[in-house]
Amino acid sequence: MRKPSFLAVLLFALTAGAQAAPPGEFAGVNPKDLQPSPEAGAVDLAERLVWTRSARNTELGVLPGKYTAHGQDAQGRYFLATSPAFAFYMRSVRGQYLLARGGVLLPHAPTARARFFFVQDDRVKTGKTLEEAMAHTPDEPAAVPLLDALLNWASQGHLVALAEIDDDALNERLRAAFAAR
């Protein structure tokens, strides 16, 4: 079975994300631009937190696990999952699940909405169900054409913050879990 190239995974992620987020609401962040977080907090998230966009037939979420303060910028603090490493997931409009490294962006402003983010990487888990994606071992990147390799090199490790979560109850749960850290 042919392994998906980085470009194919990137296109899938952006296509699925575009269906989940209104236009113009992506935020790309170079990890070199992040400042250390003043509190080196860690969060043990006990439950899966899910944002369903039924009008777009998509779902974004984070899995239970340990999240650490990865850094901060003007937008807020980034909490990256460390165990399990692949803790951010999205369900595309076609029902395919994609699992990647990622976490939660908690804004500094107390009334601002949180966002989920993922780390741009060429190692993702996929499956027809979330359980299948979780059990999947990420494939090693296949040999890629030059353009693929350049795109991979240029964006490797960048954070992609998705749309602001417009579910007030979920925002309250995210703040309760991450704000005190």
Question: Rounded CA gap, 173 and 130, in Å?
Answer: 22
What pLDDT tens digit does each residue of the chain (181 aa) get?
445 554 444 444 544 444 444 444 667 888 888 888 877 678 999 999 999 976 667 899 999 999 999 899 999 999 999 998 899 999 988 889 999 999 999 999 999 999 999 998 877 888 899 899 889 876 655 555 554 544 554 567 888 899 899 999 999 999 999 986 5
pLDDT at 139: 61
User: Is the separation of the CB atoms in 101 and 81 below 8 Å?
Assistant: yes
Sheet with 125-127, strands from edge to edge, namely 49-53, 58-62, 88-91, 97-100, 125-127
pLDDT at 115: 95
Question: Rounded CA gap, 82 and 57, in Å?
Answer: 28
Pairing mode of beta strands 88-91, 115-119 = unpaired
The pTM is what?
Answer: 0.77
- Segments making up each domain of the chain, as ranges: 6-178
Strands (E), the chain: 27-29, 42-45, 49-53, 58-62, 65-72, 76-83, 88-91, 97-100, 102-107, 115-119, 125-127, 159-161
pLDDT at 181: 59
